[in-house]
Every structure is written in C-alpha cells, then in structure tokens.
Amino acid sequence: MQFMLLFSRQGKLRLQKWYVPLSDKEKKKITRELVQTVLARKPKMCSFLEWRDLKIVYKRYASLYFCCAIEDQDNELITLEIIHRYVELLDKYFGSVCELDIIFNFEKAYFILDEFLLGGEVQETSKKNVLKAIEQADLLQENMKDKGYHFIMQGINDAHLQEKVE
C-alpha cells in the first residue's frame, strides 16, 4: 500500500497515512485530486478505480470515505478486507465508532492503524491481538504519566509474551 486517506463527504481530511516519501506539496496535491475523484463517484459504482499509475480502493462507511492506494500487483479485494478490518477495529475500540470519534481522537486512530498495518503491509491478522496491543499501550500511557515506568513496562512485556500463537 502506498497511502491511506480518510475523508468526509465534504472532503475534509480525517487521517492520512503515507508509506511513500513525498513532499508536503505533493501530498496536498494528491489528496486534493483524489478526494475530488472519489467524491465524484456515484453510490452504485464499484470500489475500484484506476488513478495515475495506482489502483485506488475505497469504501464509504457512513460519512467517512476510506481510501487506499495500492500498486499494480496488489490485490484489490484483500485491500477491501483490510479497510473493513480497520473499520472493525475502530468500531471495537471506540464502541460503535462514528466520524466524530475519529476527529476527536485522531491520534488513537493512527495508533490502531499502526498496530494493524506496518510499512504498508498487514502485520497482524488477529483482531484480538491488535486490540490487545492498543489496550496495553493505553495502559502503559496511563500508568506512567507521572510515575517511573520500569516495573510497569516489564508487566506489559510479560503480557505481550503471552500473546497467543496459533
């Protein structure tokens, strides 16, 4: 995956994850054009479109568009599954997620994405494991706002070690 964008129906960007190095100006231009293209699509159209030399996979969930740019050899359908899985993760974390959750907790949305994808590839296929990792990290964050962190971090380590293997 080259990048993922989340934007509203008014074209307002809610999340941008870039896995390729581009200047700010380039990113802005791409975002603007792509948002325009996707928003112009009619509801019944399929989720795939070709744009520049990339394949764009997008899906609308309520008021948010989830849009991924993948390379030629990447699989569109699995990308749709990726998008869906991400939405499920957000949903589980926030409890019936809506756009406002993502607006007000955008950094959390990033953290969750970073436990699911890494470098543009899927890193964890178990929903449970992803959510557990976020939970641990949130705990860690809470616990060491003011205290020293060594012991607590150690506890988190052990928990991670017990991460279920199939």
Partner 1 sequence: MVMSSLKLQDLIEEIRGAKTQAQEREVIQKECAHIRASFRDGDPLHRHRQLAKLLYVHMLGYPAHFGQMECLKLIASPRFIDKRVGYLGAMLLLDERQDAHLLITNSIKNDLNQGIQAVQGLALCTLSTMGSAEMCRDLATEVEKLLLERSPYVRKKAVLTAVHMIRKVPELSDTFLPVCAKLLHERHHGVLLGTITLITELCERSPAALKHFRKVVPQLVQILRTLVTTGFSTEHSISGVSDPFLQVQILRLLRILGRNHEESSESMNDLLAQVLAVNILGRFLLNSDKNIRYVALTSLLRLVQSDHSAVQRHRPTVVECLREPDASLSRRALELSLALVNSSNVRAMTQELQGFLESCPLDLRADCASGILLAAERFAPTKRWHIDTILRVLTMAGSHVRDDAVANLTQLIGGAQELHAYSVRRLYSALAQDISQQPLVQVAAWCIGEYGDLLLEGSCEETEPLQVEEEEVLALLERVLQSHMSLPATRGYALTALMKLSTRLRGDNNRIRQVVSIYGSCLDVELQQRAVEYNTLFRKYDHMRAAILEKMPLVDRGGPQADEEVKESKEATHLLEPAPVPTEPQASKLLDLLDLLDGPSEDSQQPPPVDPSPEGTLIHLLDLPCAPLAPAPIPNLKVFEREGLQLNLSFVRPPGTPTLLLITATATNASEGDVTHFICQAAVPKSFQLQLQAPSGDTVPAQGGLPVTQVLRILNPNKAPLRLKLRLTYNHYGRSVQEIFEVNNLPVEAWQ
22 binds partner 1 (CB under 8 A): yes
Positions in 26-45 near partner 1 (CB under 8 A): 28
CA gap 68, 27 in Å, rounded = 14
**Token representation of residue 29:** 């231009």
Nearer to partner 1, 91 or 114 (CB): 114
Contacts of 11 (CB under 8 A, 6+ apart): 35, 36, 39
- Residues near 32 by Cβ (< 8 Å), separated by ≥ 6? none
Among 2, 8, 13, 39, binds partner 1 (CB under 8 A): 13
Q: Where are the beta strands (DSSP E) in the chain?
A: 3-8, 13-18, 48-51, 54-61, 64-70, 117-118, 121-122
Q: Shortest approach of partner 1 to residue 133 CB, angstroms?
A: 7
In the DSSP assignment, the letter for residue 41 is S
Determine the straight-line distance between the first and last CA of the chain, rounded to whole angstroms: 26
User: Contact with partner 1 (CB under 8 A): which of 48, 61, 94, 111?
Assistant: 111
Note whether 63 binds partner 1 by CB under 8 A. Answer: no
Interface mask toward partner 1 for 122-141; x: CB under 8 A: xxxxxxxx---x--xx--xx
Binding residues for partner 1, per CB under 8 A?
Answer: 12-19, 21-23, 28, 73, 75, 78, 81-82, 85, 103-104, 106-107, 110-111, 114-115, 118-119, 121-129, 133, 136-137, 140-141, 144-145, 149, 153-154, 156-157, 160-161, 163-166
